[in-house]
Structure 1
């Protein structure tokens, strides 16, 4: 797997450093932080990120803005990343907390191009990075990510679900894993995540299907793998969560 550490190049004078990396399934990057701000873009695969601001599952074609000095731990699920590392004094975003950002088609192409650019005072590279700076400043914060609990036992149970997602996975089963009553589990889950386990389960199944959709897997196979009785049931839930059908999602991404 191709992996370049930012620590080997962070001292360089460039305002923005672009690095492309590839990670194996379930590869863990223990908690760390950078002197620079980071835009972590997953071109392929699913990213789990744990930060002081919260824990999330990030589907493909999304990016996470991580301010300087913010500790974060990452678990990669067959991920290809294109990351930008930006000097603090040149950050186009001033927020001091992590954000999940939408990536426009133009921004996506710029991010994929950036790691290939020549270093030094190259006019073409400077123009690309000016466009990147503008796109990053304008990028919209989105909610199409999956929050994870910070409660250790509940987080472990959620990770078990995410390893084998199924739309029929019951709150009773999750409560039994934690050795608590279903009522206590429901209160704890909503307090930690912000909505019910049933809602979270639906969002999880949809967001985890995005990588498969973008890799041209048949909708029928995706639906059955997630426990749906038929593709129509999956498509209906997909539309309720994201506001468009699987085919419309593929066409627009």
Structure 2
């Protein structure tokens, strides 16, 4: 099994939004199975990858994990503890925004957003250093400010997607859910996962209901959809996606997707 690497957050305070630069960008290459340790800051954040899938986990009142391919981003409101894991080698992009840039209740909750091709190119065009070196010329500053305005416009148009997977507070169930996140296809049924966790299926079923308001099967389906979307974004065929997620056949996987989202996988992956 590949070893994990844990890294501290890369001096986020050096990129803190200011009245002169209320929107800042940062680029960072992460190797496979690299974790950025949990941290928080007083400004909002948009995180996504130009290449490679990432997992973003948040803590607090709305503890959740988001598994996103390059066509998706995670919005993190100010003050939320969060961590990032590279599911595969990725070119991570972070945009820090002063809270007043996007006011309103809709921006106070973490969520997954669609990343348009224009938004990707705009973020890539933003300066990725704490401060421009050497100092910007008036023309460079005008160009940057124009890009920043367009980034905000694209963010306001970005479509939210229900791809987050809630995580429990109970330590026993949290450990099980984390194991399922790492290897969703290792076991198919609750009995096998319960045996591994050293708890009875009945106890785990109760904890899923109490902690997450859902059944094991419903929670696992959401997790598998998130992983499947990432695999589909890499161009994996449906048979291979089904196999990697522990399904005996593509038809069985297709039935799960159709049952969960009300449409076949081909349409779900095209629309999502």
Settle same-fold status: TM greater than 0.5: yes
CA shift for structure 1 position 45: 0.7
CA shift for structure 1 position 181: 2.5
Matching residue within 120, 137, 140 for 1:111? 120
Structure 2: which 5+ runs fail to align?
none
Change (3 A) 1:141 1:213: closer
CA shift for structure 1 position 101: 3.2
Q: Secondary structure at the match of 1:114?
A: helix
Change (3 A) 1:69 1:102: closer
Change (3 A) 1:194 1:204: same
Q: Which residue of 2 aligns with 1:170?
A: 189
Q: Give the whole-Å Cα distance in 1 for the aligned partners of 2:34 and 2:11.
A: 15
Q: Which residue of 2 aligns with 1:20?
A: 27
Q: Secondary structure at the match of 1:68?
A: coil
The answer (yes or no) to whether the contact 1:57–1:148 under 8 Å persists in 2 is no
Q: Give the whole-Å Cα distance in 1 for the aligned partners of 2:26 and 2:56.
A: 19
Q: Which residue of 2 aligns with 1:30?
A: 37
Q: Which residue of 2 aligns with 1:239?
A: 258
Q: 1:55-77: per-residue Cα shift (whole Å, max 9, x none)?
A: 22332233322222322233332
Change (3 A) 1:41 1:243: farther
Q: Which residue of 2 aligns with 1:218?
A: 237
1:206 aligns with 2:231: no
Q: Give the whole-Å Cα distance in 2 for the aligned partners of 1:232 and 1:71.
A: 39
- How large is the Cα RMSD of the aligned pairs? 2.9
1:47 aligns with 2:66: no
| Larger displacement relative to structure 2 (42-51 or 204-213) | 42-51
Number of positions where the alignment pairs a residue of Structure 1 with one of Structure 2: 250
Superposition TM-score, scaled by structure 1 size:
0.83
CA shift for structure 1 position 249: 4.5
Q: 1:9-64: per-residue Cα shift (whole Å, max 9, x none)?
A: 32663111122323223322222112321112344313140311212233223332
Q: Which residue of 2 aligns with 1:70?
A: 80
Q: Give the whole-Å Cα distance in 1 for the aligned partners of 2:48 and 2:112.
A: 9
| Larger displacement relative to structure 2 (143-152 or 119-128) | 119-128
| Larger displacement relative to structure 2 (14-23 or 109-118) | 109-118
Change (3 A) 1:149 1:112: farther
Structure 1: which 5+ runs fail to align?
none
The answer (yes or no) to whether the contact 1:167–1:205 under 8 Å persists in 2 is no
Q: Secondary structure at the match of 2:87?
A: strand
Q: Which residue of 2 aligns with 1:85?
A: 96
Q: 1:75-131: per-residue Cα shift (whole Å, max 9, x none)?
A: 3322443221012333345567432133152xx432343232356454443333212
1:8 aligns with 2:19: no
Q: Give the whole-Å Cα distance in 1 for the aligned partners of 2:235 and 2:144.
A: 33
Q: Give the whole-Å Cα distance in 2 for the aligned partners of 1:55 and 1:219.
A: 27
Change (3 A) 1:23 1:194: farther
